[in-house]
Amino acid sequence: MKTYITRIAVCTLLAMAGCKSIGPGQVPQDRFDYSAGIGESWKSQTLLNIVKIRYIDPPIFVDVGQIVASRSLAQNLSASANVPVYNGGNPSGSIAGTFGLSGSGTYIDQPTVTYTPLTGNRFIKSLMTPLTPEAVFGMVQAGWPADGVLYMAAASINGLKNQETSLSGTVPPEPDFLRALTLMRKIQLSGGVAVRVQQDEQKHVSTLLSFRRQDITPEVLADSRELRRLLKLDPEATEFQLVRAATAINDKEVALNMRSVLQLMQTMAAQVEVPAEHLAEHSAAPGWESATIPGKETRMIEIHSSKERPDHAFVAVPYNNYWFSIDTRDLKSKRVFLFTMMMFTLADTSDAPPPPTLTIPTR
C-alpha cells in the first residue's frame, strides 16, 4: 500500500511539472490565430469602407499597431498519506489507512492590442495621391495580368479612357481602351513586353516599356502593331517611356493617368448592389445601375447585398440593416479586392510613425 501511494504522488507531481511552460509551444498557434484575425479584420474594414463610400459616408481606417500576448500559469499540488498500521483485533491483519491528494491551477491570458486611427496629412495624402506607373507595371512584371491591373489602376492610357464614376453615375470605358488592355495581356503572355528602369548621368530615373520584335510569332507581332496604332505610338520604336500624365507629348511616350486608392475605392463603391429601397429614398449615390451601357463583361467587381448573412462569403460586413459581401466563388472580384488591399501598401511610401511604448508587468 505504501509503495502504491508513493507512485501515485510521484506521477502526479511529474505531470504537473510538465505543464509549467506555456511559452514556446504557444508561438505557432498564436502566430496563426493573430495573423488570421488581422487578415479577416483588414478584409472586413476594406469592404465596409467601400460600401460606406456608396452611401456618402466617410471611410474610417484603424490599423493594428502592436500585439502583446501576456500569459501566466500558477499551479499548486498537495498530497498526504497515513502510514499503514495493522489492526491487531482483526486476525486477518487488514490495513487501516487513508490517502489524500489535491491540486489547483490558474491560467490567465491577457493580450494587449494597440489600435492606431489612420488620420492626418500623411494618410490622406497617401489615399489621394495617384499610383505611380512604375509600381503598377512592377506588378505586371511580377506576373499579375496586365489587363486586370490596368483596368483597376489606370483612368486613361494615351487618351483612351477607362470607366468614370461620379455622383451622377457611371460612364463605361471606351471600347478602344478595353481592346488595348486585351492586346497588352496577349503580348504579356507571349513574353513580348518588359519593363526596364534606367538612370542617366544626372541620376534622373526613367521607366521604359520595351516590346520585343524578334523571336515572336506573327500573331503577337500583329497584336503589337495594333496596340501601337490604338495608343498612337511609333510603329518602328521598340522602347517607350512611361510617364504619369493625361496625354503623351510625342509618339514615344505611354502616358498613364493613374487612379489614387480613393478613386479606385470610389469606382468599386459605384458597383455595390444597393437595395432598391435605398436607391428609391436616395440614401445611396447612383452607381452601376445608372450606366449608359451597363454590361457584366466590363464590371470590375460584384458586391452583393442581402438581408441575411450569405453562406458562401469571402468577406461579409453588416451595414444599414443589410449584409454586403463578395462571393468566395467569384475569383475575379476576389482578385480585384486583393489588388485594392495591396494598393494601400504601394500608395503609402512614407515612413510609418513609431508605435507606442508598452510596459508589460512581469509575474
Same domain, 43 and 187: no
Q: Checking DSSP bridges between strand 169-171 and strand 164-166, what pairing results, if any? A: antiparallel
Domain containing residue 66: 2-8+25-117
- Looking at per-residue pLDDT, the higher value among 92 and 153 belongs to 153
Q: What is the pLDDT of residues 96-120, one digit of tens each?
A: 555 566 666 676 666 666 766 666 5
Q: What is the pLDDT of residue 97?
A: 57
What percent of the chain is modeled with pLDDT above 90? 26
Same domain, 287 and 261: yes
Confidence of residue 129 (pLDDT cuts 50, 70, 90): confident
Mean pLDDT computed over 72-98: 58
3-class secondary structure per residue, the chain:
CHHHHHHHHHHHHHHHHHCCCCCHHHHHHHHHHHHHHHHHHHHHHHHHHHHHHHCCCCCCCEEEEEEECCEEEEEEEEEEECCCEECCCCCCCCEECCEEEEEEEEEEECCEEEEEECCHHHHHHHHHCCCCHHHHHHHHHCCCCHHHHHHHHEEEECCEECCEEECCEEECCCHHHHHHHHHHHHHHHHCCEEEEEEECCCCCEEEEEEECCCCCCHHHHHHHHHHHHHCCCCCCCCEEEEEECCCCCCCCEEEEEECCHHHHHHHHHCCECCCHHHHHCCCCCCCHHHCCCCCHHHCCCCEEEECCCCCCEEEEEEECCEEEEEECCCHHHHHHHHHHHHHHHHHCCCCCCCCCCCCCCCC
Same domain, 126 and 91: no
Same domain, 161 and 302: yes
Q: Is the pLDDT of residue 211 over 70?
A: yes
Which of 97, 117, 137 is at the close of a domain?
117
Same domain, 46 and 157: no
Q: What is the pLDDT of residue 242?
A: 87
Same domain, 43 and 63: yes
* Average pLDDT across the chain, whole number: 77
Same domain, 159 and 300: yes
Which of 74, 102, 117 is at the close of a domain?
117
Q: What is the pLDDT of residue 132?
A: 85
Of 81-90, 137-146, 173-182, 354-363, the one with minimum mean pLDDT is 354-363
Maximum distance among all Cα pairs of the chain, rounded to whole angstroms: 119
Q: Is the pLDDT of residue 14 over 50?
A: no
Q: Is the pLDDT of residue 349 over 50?
A: no
Q: What is the pLDDT of residue 54?
A: 92
Same domain, 179 and 67: no
- Determine, yes or no, domain membership for 15: no
Mean pLDDT computed over 122-146: 81
- Looking at per-residue pLDDT, the higher value among 48 and 82 belongs to 48
Q: What is the pLDDT of residue 358?
A: 46
**Structural domain count of the chain:** 2
Q: Is the pLDDT of residue 323 over 90?
A: yes
Q: Is the pLDDT of residue 78 over 80?
A: no
Same domain, 154 and 112: no
Q: Is the pLDDT of residue 315 over 80?
A: yes
Confidence of residue 328 (pLDDT cuts 50, 70, 90): very high
Q: What is the pLDDT of residues 244-285, one digit of tens each?
A: 888 899 999 999 999 988 888 888 998 899 998 998 898 998
Same domain, 226 and 303: yes
Same domain, 201 and 307: yes
Same domain, 124 and 109: no
Q: What is the pLDDT of residues 147-202, one digit of tens each?
A: 989 998 999 999 999 988 776 667 888 999 999 999 999 988 888 777 776 655 55
